[in-house]
Chain A
Amino acid sequence: MSTQSGAAGAAGGGMVRPVGIVTDIATVARRSVRSLLREPEAMAPALIIPTFFFIVNIGALESFVERSPGIDYRAFQIPVAIIFAVTGISRASVLVIDIQTGYLDRMLVTPVRRTTLLLGMMVADVVLALALSLVVVAMGFVAGVRFETGLLGILLFLGLAVAWSLAFTGFPYTVALRTGNPAAVNSSFLIFFPFAFLTPAYLPRELMTGWMQTVAAWNPVTYLLEGMRSLLSDGWQAAAIGKASAAIGGLALVTFVMAFRSLARRVATG
């Protein structure tokens, strides 16, 4: 059964055509990146917190930790600063507003592919994570930190940071889609603390003791930090980079399954 007048008919609009998934992602991403650029103030906490901890940790612990031979504590702290900067950033707070205002419904009555509503926002997350990581790396350079692995190492270092950030966005997106509640999305930030602190953030793992050492061995952030530190201080260490990548991949698998299943549930018409 064909249509009566064709979609271009009634109001004289343009011809509607099916578009590819990349176009849909670009459409959603365009809006997300634009709103990101309009709120640069939202970046402030993501930069102040890591800068604060970087300065305080170095001031408090640098001379103490550097008693152990072979540790450059400033290089040791740069990956920690990056994790603090990029973990938990997401557009979930925008998504939850879209749900509340009905703007998500407005998009859902268009032919846009449902998965791209999340993927497009994640593009903006990647942009923000990269910008934050660049600032932290620049701060490291100012503090005298150098990369043993050169330019390629810096690029991989940034790549790991951004990939980690993206893998973590699955948590807030899941909360946003499940609850539709801004307060719950804000609270999802709390999950950052065990991930960030139950790790060798302050001391190398071999100097840690007791339950902390055991817990850290199960925390993916441990392997991320160690992989990133290897790029700074040890040169190319395939095993360390492999473990860091596996940690990110494992987390991404879990959080993306949760987030996209939550999206499917949210947009389900049943």
Chain B
Amino acid sequence: MPEAVLTGSDDPAISARGLVRTFGSNRAVDGVDLGVNAGEIYGFLGPNGAGKSTTVRMLCTLLKPTAGQATVAGHDVVDRPGEVRIRIGVALQEAALDERQTGREILDLQARLYGLSAADRAASIARAVDLADIGDAMDARVKTYSGGMKRRLDLAASLIHGPEVLFLDEPTTGLDPVSRAQVWDEVRRLNSELGVTVFLTTQYLEEADALADRVAIIDGGRIVEEGSPSELKRAVGADVIVVNLPPDAIAGAATVAETVPVVDAVTQGRRGITIATADGAAAVSSVAVALSGAGIHPQSLTVRTPSLDDVFLLATGYRMSAVDPAADGGGAAPGSGSRAVAPGSGGP
């Protein structure tokens, strides 16, 4: 291990350098570097197809990297997959459970697959039954479960052997809001009470914001930003001004807005522009006056605090959420400040 820095108690729970995975000519993961500290909840945020699951599958020993190197719980994922496997718990996308077995049988099978002795098995299953908290359903076939119950059982099963690192691949995709909140509570509790390091992929901005100590934003197989949610949002600016515009006015409005002194960055979208600024209250009137002076009349003009979506927009030039009025899916024009996130955002 040429560049191993795994010494003492500062051992990262997960570390990856230059991780690449190609499928044919498609570079699904294109040079990912990351370090996750023990005891941390690390959010891996990105849209569908960004390379989240491929990265998780490499870290979980299910897929070999095309290039690069990664260690999980102190062991190389390629050279020592067996050592990694006994130290990690994994809940992959869409709770993968055998529908013809009962919840208890699935937990028992899982405990046996890890080679737990009979006594350990009984204790682990009892703990997992508590954790899943699905009551009498534990002895019913999984095919009778709701989506939320499956998720909870899946989570309990992935923890049966007391892993150091837990991988959760989109743990709440497809869940209703109540079930989602339950999973969030569970993840927080596992992390705070049991000290499990959690690596969580998600396409939900609010999930990364609510759960993660640190977030990496991945797009096109590369990490484009990394830091704590508050750091990342602060780096966008204190405030964001969202200007809704007719399509033909967008480019002109961006040019005008960039000339306003208190404006830090302007990003164009399909339905308007997004302006990052240190002082929204002061800037909004200047922007309105400048636009008006140029003969541009916004449909609306809104000031708010930045979200992770704004971080994403500034890093990639488009929004993850398709619902924001100002900019979605439209690529930013080159030179319009789409990479204007300030230094100190903890990026790689």
Given contacts A15-B120, A27-B112, A105-B62, contact A10 B164 (CB under 8 A): yes
Interface size on B, residues (CB 8 A): 59
Q: Chain B contacts of A101 at CB under 8 A? A: 94, 96-98
B101 within 8 A of A: yes
Residue of B nearest to A11 (CB): B162
In the complex, the answer to whether A18 meets B115 with C-beta atoms within 8 Å is yes
In the complex, the answer to whether A35 meets B61 with C-beta atoms within 8 Å is no
A1 within 8 A of B: yes
B127 within 8 A of A: yes
Give residues 1-19 of A contacting B (CB, 8 Å). Answer: 1-5, 7-19
Q: Chain B contacts of A110 at CB under 8 A? A: 85, 110, 113-114
B117 within 8 A of A: yes
A59 within 8 A of B: no
In the complex, the answer to whether B127 meets A13 with C-beta atoms within 8 Å is yes
In the complex, the answer to whether B121 meets A4 with C-beta atoms within 8 Å is no
- Count A-B pairs with CB separation below 8 Å: 147
Interface size on A, residues (CB 8 A): 41
In the complex, the answer to whether A16 meets B62 with C-beta atoms within 8 Å is no
Interface stretch among B172-180, B188-196, B316-324? B188-196
Given contacts A27-B113, A111-B113, contact A35 B162 (CB under 8 A): no
> A18–B197 Cα gap in the complex (Å)?
23
Given contacts A1-B75, A16-B116, A103-B96, contact A11 B101 (CB under 8 A): no
Give residues 23-42 of A contacting B (CB, 8 Å). Answer: 23-24, 27, 30-31, 34-35, 38-39
- Least distance between B19 CB and chain A CB atoms (Å): 14
- Least distance between B124 CB and chain A CB atoms (Å): 5
Residue of B nearest to A19 (CB): B115
Chain B binding surface SS class? loop
Give residues 46-66 of B contacting A (CB, 8 Å). Answer: 60-64
In the complex, the answer to whether A14 meets B109 with C-beta atoms within 8 Å is no
Residue of B nearest to A20 (CB): B115
Which of B9, B119, B164 has its CB near the most chain A CB atoms (within 10 A)? B164
Q: Chain B contacts of A103 at CB under 8 A? A: 96-98
In the complex, the answer to whether B162 meets A106 with C-beta atoms within 8 Å is no
Q: Which residues of B approach A to under 8 Å, CB–CB?
A: 4, 6, 9, 11, 13, 38, 60-64, 73-75, 78, 81-82, 85-90, 92-94, 96-98, 100-101, 105, 109-117, 119-121, 123-124, 127, 157, 159-164, 190, 194-197
6 contacts across the A-B interface (CB closer than 8 A): A5-B195, A9-B162, A13-B160, A17-B117, A35-B100, A109-B92
Q: Which residues of A approach B to under 8 Å, CB–CB?
A: 1-5, 7-19, 23-24, 27, 30-31, 34-35, 38-39, 98, 101-103, 105-112, 269-270
